[in-house]
Amino acid sequence: MLSYEPGDSVAHHLDPRSKLLVQGGFAAVAFVYTTPRGLAALTAVAFGLLAVARTAPHRVLWEFRFVFPFLFAAPLLGGFAWGAWFVPEDAIPSALAGYRALLVFLVAAAYVRTTPVRDSRAAIQWAVPGRPGQFLGMGVAFVFRFLPVLRADIGRIRDGYRARLGTERSVPERMGLLVVAAFNRAFDRADRFSLALRARCFSWNPTLPEVGFSPLDVPAVLVGTAFLAIAGYGAIWAP
């Protein structure tokens, strides 16, 4: 699972708030301009952002491989029509929407890989003051730390089934066993996680790292602002 990795790329030195602005602006543009031409331009932008973060695209695609069945299934279901086997024109909007989601995943992966969890929490609590911001920042921090552990647990469960010839069972039976084992492991992890928080005197408002803009953040803020302006123009004025 992709997670924060120390590095010396340009994205590593940016303030988390400017990176969140770029990420949010990119997502806004992707949801407004869903034409093939617009998504082609956004593809180049996404690969450029990955290059700034020194993140290999093939690695991101491999880490997000679990979403591919859903992205492929959406056009198939969208193109299915009663009285005809398949209508390609009806599948195009779902295919474009799936590709748009994939581009957003690529940019999100660049952010996750270059931003420590504590910095993300500090940026969120700066943007959303008060107890709501503390709750939101805490939730984001928990997800970033807990999700890779769950993914690793699922991988170990699957390896155990393979070692015990679980692949000889039918697909529905394997899926049922995997889901039950994964939920059991998740609940066990949650109980241990709760106990660890209490043992460490978890605080709603801990001392977080200071965030501050630098000259490197100026281009990032301009890019993020431009993304939001383009998305706003497309949503209001574009035909």
**18-22, 65-69, 91-95, 170-174 — most confident range:** 18-22
Sign of CA dihedral 97, 100, 105, 106: positive
pLDDT at 200: 64
pLDDT at 26: 93
Q: At what angle do helices 16-32 and 117-127 cross, to 10 degrees?
A: 70
Degrees to nearest 5, angle at CA 77 with 83 and 147: 165
Average pLDDT over residues 47-72: 85
Whole-angstrom Cα Rg for the chain? 21
pLDDT at 238: 58
Distance CA 168, CA 82 (A): 36
Distance CA 225, CA 230 (A): 9
Residue in this structure with the two tokens 């690969």, named with its chain if needed = 47
**pLDDT averaged over every residue in the chain:** 81
Distance CA 129, CA 59 (A): 36
**7-21, 55-69, 73-87, 185-199 — most confident range:** 7-21
Distance CA 227, CA 184 (A): 43
Average pLDDT over residues 91-102: 85
Q: Token pair of 154, please?
A: 């699922």
Taking CA atoms, 129 is separated from 17, 136, 138, 211, 218, in Å, by: 14, 10, 13, 15, 24
Task: Judge whether residue 83 has pLDDT over 60.
Answer: no
Q: How many CB atoms lie within 10 A of CB 33?
A: 18
Instruction: Collect all residues with Cβ–Cβ distance below 8 Å to 193 and sequence separation of at least 6.
Output: 146
pLDDT at 68: 79
Share of the chain above pLDDT 70, in %: 89
- 10 Å CB burial of residue 15 (0-12, 13-18, 19+) is buried
pLDDT at 42: 92
pTM, 2 dp: 0.72
Distance CA 130, CA 15 (A): 21
